[in-house]
Amino acid sequence: MATYTMKEAKPAPTTNKGVVFWLRENLFPDVKNTLLTLAGLYILYAIIPPLLNWMIFDATWTGSKDEVVNSGARWIFIVEKFDQFMYGFYPEALHWRPNLVGILSLVLIFGFKYIGSVKLKIATIILFPIICFVLISGGWFGLEVVETEKWGGLMLTILVAAVGIVASFPIGVVLALGRQSNMPILRTLCIGFIEFVRGVPLITILFMASVLLPLFFHDGIEFNKLLRALIGITLFQAAYIAEVIRGGLQAIPKGQYEASEALGLTYWQGMILIILPQALKISIPNLVGSFISLFKDTTLVLIIGLFDILAMVTLTNSDTNWLGYEVEGYVFVTLIYWVCCFSMSQYSKSIERKFNTEH
Amino acid sequence: MSDQEVMITMKDVNKWYGDFHVLKDVNLNIKKGEKVVICGPSGSGKSTTIRCLNHLEKFQEGSININGTELIEDVKVVRHIRSQVGMVFQHFNLFPHLSVLENLLIAPTWVHKKPRKEAIETAMYYLERVKIAEQAHKYPNQLSGGQQQRVAIARCLCINPEIMLFDEPTSALDPEMVSEVLDVMVELADEGITMICVTHEMGFAKKVADRVVFMDAGQVIEENEPNEFFDNPQSDRLKLFLEQILSH
């Protein structure tokens, strides 16, 4: 029977992983970096605890405004005005309608990929906006009419952004294709439109939409303020979308066009089946970047008298009962904007992963 | 040669890129079922010649007749011709966003309006033929170059073409993959489809071609059946070319 003897244990090698090593390597490698690290830590120490104290630990969440004793944020303002921030002047009894639209939208966003047939998908895309419009504005199926003047708050922000995104997308695609067209008149028109719109600020377009558009129509026709803003934003966004998509189209190798032609596909078949799916896929990051900008730009509608969420905060701050709550209001709006934009960027990443056919 | 047998007629075809005269009075007559290999130095206009046949390139003078149809600049005529002519490209040009099977279904379902079920059966038959059926649900970028080119050949076969054009089908392949593609092409040649192939694979030309065409500077310099072409070249230019490519 063989005998085995335990080998003497070797000393452990000098550590090259673990927390201590990482700290020494990255934060305290020499005197200069150590000083910078310490300075950085001090700045964090100076900012974070007071911020947390103000926002959370010393904050007042409930009760009435006369009972506030804490030094932190008085979130009771937000709680009190929450409905106005969300819905503007939309009648309280009817808040379930925009809520339902919100829930339907979420179901659609996350459930769309589970819809099996293409026909059903197209039907959904066409029907969904109509359902949303009917729900929010009313007037059919016994739903009480709510005039657009009463729409506001986050609801209006999301609505303007959503309409801007959905409506500008097809226009942008057509403009991008038109810009590449062989037909000189069509190409010139598309280039002219894109370059004109890109050359002026959104605020000018909104002013033009609200002041100029009515001039084109006879006196009798009352042109809805919200509709004017939506048209302006859609046209503005379409020009940017067109340029983003043009970038995607140009990145598609010539061989793809040739292969689809050689197989006998028509121009539109080739575009819809072969070129656009690829061009849009590589455009996703830039498209979403553009959509996020638009979401933030929608706040400019306040200058033509629409009350989006930011305008609602400003408005509620002029309530004589609630003077001096600006900070809470604007911090709240900032958080809302951030959550929305961050969600959009995360959603775009998940779409990118889904369309990745490399491996 | 009766009219019935003629598949392709190119008559005095001339083409310019700006001032550059790419094709000079190209004349080519190809019979049904004939295998023609076009060779020549780069820039000699061989690719341009076959790309004129399915109107990927326009030509300014002369005429082309494909299987009885005069090639004119008319969308319907061009589509009619393309529906009979399959083309295999140097860089495969598969559609990367579609699976192998979907790549094969595009033309039959959208151009030839076949029912999807029938198109799938045809597609699987041809994938079997190019020995790649088990990859049907992969995406092109997951395949090797040789496999992609075989898929590209199957994609053309799915439209049941009268004519197959090959534009340097093996030039972009790693050396060890050239033979798997050539094998498929040889098999195809045995079936009597009309083939025009631009290639530098002289072994393939000797084995398969009924006729080899040599082009230089946009002109057809010499054409002959393979044995004569390689063993008894007439022009100095062809002699030099053969020396260069066969010296290794």
Over range B84-106, report the average pLDDT: 94
Distances (CA, A) of A334 to A48, A288, A331, A348: 17, 19, 5, 21
Highest mean pLDDT among A87-96, A98-107, B27-36: B27-36
CB-CB neighbors (< 8 A) of B108 in chain A: none
Rounded Cα–Cα distance for residues A192 and B81 (Å): 37
Q: Which of B75, B97, B106 sits opposite A357 (nearest CB)?
A: B97
**pLDDT reading at B1 higher than 70:** no
Residue A205 has pLDDT above 80, yes or no: yes
Cβ–Cβ < 8 Å for B54, B213: no
The predicted-structure confidence for A26-46, as pLDDT tens digits, reads as follows: 888 888 988 999 999 999 999
DSSP H helical ranges for A180-224: 184-198, 202-211
Nearest-by-CA chain A residue for B103? A274
Inter-chain contact A273–B110, Cβ cutoff 8 Å? yes
pLDDT of residue A214 exceeding 80, the answer is no
Enter the ipTM: 0.91
Contacts of A261 in chain B (CB under 8 A): 56, 82
- Mean pLDDT, range A327-346, rounded to an integer: 90
- Judged by a CB distance cut-off of 8 A, whether residue A282 touches chain B is no
pLDDT at B2: 47
Task: Show the tokens assigned to B87.
Answer: 């083309």
Cβ-based contacts of A253 with chain B (< 8 Å): 91, 93
CA distance B156 to chain A (A): 8
From A76-90, A253-267, B203-217, B220-234, the region with the lowest mean pLDDT: A76-90
Q: Could you tell me if B96 lies within 8 Å of chain A, comparing CB atoms?
A: yes
- Cβ contact, residue pair B56, A258, below 8 Å: yes
Taking only residues 166 to 205 of chain B, the set having a beta carbon closer than 8 angstroms to any beta carbon of chain A reads none
* Beta-bridge partner residues of B14: B61
Residue A1's pLDDT is what? 63
Q: Which of A67-81, A154-168, A181-195 has the lowest mean pLDDT?
A: A67-81
Mean pLDDT of A181-195: 92
Q: Using DSSP, state whether A336 is helix, strand or coil.
A: helix
Q: In this complex, is the C-beta atom of A254 within 8 Å of any C-beta atom belonging to chain B?
A: no
A10: tokens are 């070797």
Strand, coil or helix: what is B9? strand
CB-based contact, A182 to chain B, within 8 Å: no
- Is the pLDDT confidence value at B3 over 60? no
Q: Mutation target for B interface from A256, A263, A269: give the one with most B CBs within 10 A.
A: A263
- Predicted TM-score (pTM) of the model is 0.81
Chain A residues lying within 8 Å of B141, measured CB to CB: 357-359
Q: Which residue has the tokens 């062989």?
A: A182
Task: Let me know: does A91 contact A156? Beta carbons within 8 Å.
Answer: no
Tokens linked to B74: 């008319």
For range A3-12, the mean pLDDT: 84
Residues B191, A63: Cα–Cα separation, whole Å: 88
Average pLDDT of chain A is 85
- Residue A208 phi/psi, 5-degree rounding, is -60, -45
Average pLDDT for residues A262-274, to the nearest whole number? 93
Q: Which residue type does B149 have?
A: Q
Instruction: Please tell me the distance from the alpha carbon of residue B53 to that of residue B8, in angstroms, as a whole number.
Output: 8
Each domain of chain A, given as residue ranges in start order, spans 76-90+146-358, 91-145
- Pairing outcome for strands B163-167 and B85-88: parallel
- For a pLDDT cut of 90, what percent of chain A falls above it? 33
pLDDT at B169: 92
Measured between CB atoms, which of B91, B96, B107 is closest to A263? Answer: B107
Q: Is pLDDT above 80 for B121?
A: yes
Summary count for chain A: helices (H), strands (E):
14, 0
Residue of B nearest to A255 (CA): B93
Q: For chain B, give the mean pLDDT.
A: 91
* A259 with B91: Cβ contact below 8 A: no
Over 90: is that where the pLDDT of A226 sits?
A: no
Cβ atoms of residues B34 and B210 within 8 Å:
yes
Place of tokens 């008319």: B74
The answer to which of A5-9, A20-24, A71-75, A97-101 has the lowest mean pLDDT is A71-75
> Mutate which of B53, B55, B73, B95 to test chain A, going by most A C-beta atoms within 10 A?
B95
pLDDT attached to residue A15: 64
- Superfamily (CATH) of domain A76-90+146-358: MetI-like (1.10.3720.10)
Query: Mind listing the pLDDT tens digit for each residue in B153-201?
Result: 999 999 999 999 999 999 988 988 899 999 999 988 888 899 999 998 8
pLDDT tens, A142-164? 777 777 778 888 888 999 999 99
- What are the pLDDT digits (tens) for A229-252? 888 899 999 999 999 999 999 999
Residues of A in contact with B142 (CB under 8 A): 358-359
Q: Is A261 on the interface with B (CB under 8 A)?
A: yes
N-terminal to C-terminal alpha carbon distance within chain A: 54
For residue A157, the tally of other CB atoms under 10 A from its CB is 28
Query: Taking CB atoms and an 8 Å cutoff, what residues of chain B touch A259?
Result: 87, 89, 93-95
Strands B61-66 and B69-70: antiparallel
* Partner A, chain B 64-93, Cβ-Cβ below 8 Å: 75, 79, 82-83, 85-87, 89, 91, 93
For B156, nearest residue in chain A (alpha carbons): A263
Residue A339 pLDDT exceeds 90: yes
Chain B residues in contact with A281 by the CB 8 A cut-off are 97
